[in-house]
Amino acid sequence: MRIIRLEALSDNYIFLLHDSKHNIAAVVDPAEAEPVLKKLAELKAELVAIFNTHHHNDHVGGNKELIQHFPKVIVYGGAEDRGRIPGQQVFLQQGDRVEFGDRAGDVIFVPGHTRAHIAYYFPPATFGELGELFCGDTLFAGGCGRLFEGTPTQMVSSLNKLRSLPDDTHVWCAHEYTLKNLQFALTVDSENTDLQKRFDEVKVYRSRGEATVPSLLGIEKRTNPFLRWEQPSLQSSAKSSEPVQTFARIRGMKDKF
Ligand code: ZN
Ligand code: FE
């Protein structure tokens, strides 16, 4: 399974999964149809699945047009998103599995950004490969999604599920927000040398116009303030010794950053 990153709208990424053996493709969070159709034509592949993480328009905006071009495509989304995702046919819950070609992905229920948000995790197919996590707007490189429909308690529990995956996991998040996220992270975790190093690297990548997605979960665990609610440095910035309150206060500071 090859993963192709497509740019969409102002800062969205769409991920196209390509199985060249079966000549099929799937797409994660098609913000718009046009870049997907273009790449599918280039690959001469048939679109068999749309994996949506949540109902926001910058994640499902391309569904309708893709269904028109590929009437047999199956549209997946969270069970709680019933009625909010155009064309949705499969309603997924924590622990469900999805299949694409020879690969299977686990569904992780991660409410917080929205009340219905799910993530898809494809474990390594063979020993030594990396797992692939498609986490929408829940976990970002260096940040996390805003809490539109969920509570800090829910979001901490959701992020904790993602944090429990192996360090060697690609994090395919849906937006290029990394530089701004790390700028904020430094204000609440200023002594973190891994974070300082990452910020310097990301500055260089972005100045060359390069993408910072996917990132690695191991790096997120060391540098992302929204996975570090037990760290003394973050608790001191949040003036709290309680994990959920630490997360909530740091999230509140980011909302105003
Ligand atoms: Zn969203
Ligand atoms: Fe989004």
Give me the mean pLDDT over the 6-24 stretch: 97
Question: Does the pLDDT at position 18 exceed 90?
Answer: yes
Yes or no: say if 60 and 29 are a contact pair by the CB < 8 Å rule: yes
User: All domains of the chain, ordered by start, with CATH?
Assistant: 2-255 (3.60.15.10)
pLDDT in tens, 108-132: 999 999 999 999 999 998 888 999 9
For the record, the structure tokens of 140 come out as 């970002």
Distance 135 CA to ligand 1 centre (A): 11
DSSP code at position 110 = -
Lookup result for tokens 């976990």: 139
pLDDT in tens, 234-255: 999 999 999 999 999 999 999 9
**Higher confidence at residue 126 or residue 50?**
50
Ligand nearest to the CA of 114: 1
Nearest CA among 86, 19, 98 for reference residue 59: 86
Residue 17, pLDDT score = 98
The dihedral built from the CA positions of residue 69, 73, 78 and 81, taken in this order, carries a sign that is positive
Residue 98, pLDDT score = 98
**All residues with CB under 5 Å from ion ligand 2:** 58, 137
Q: Is there a binding annotation on residue 56?
A: yes
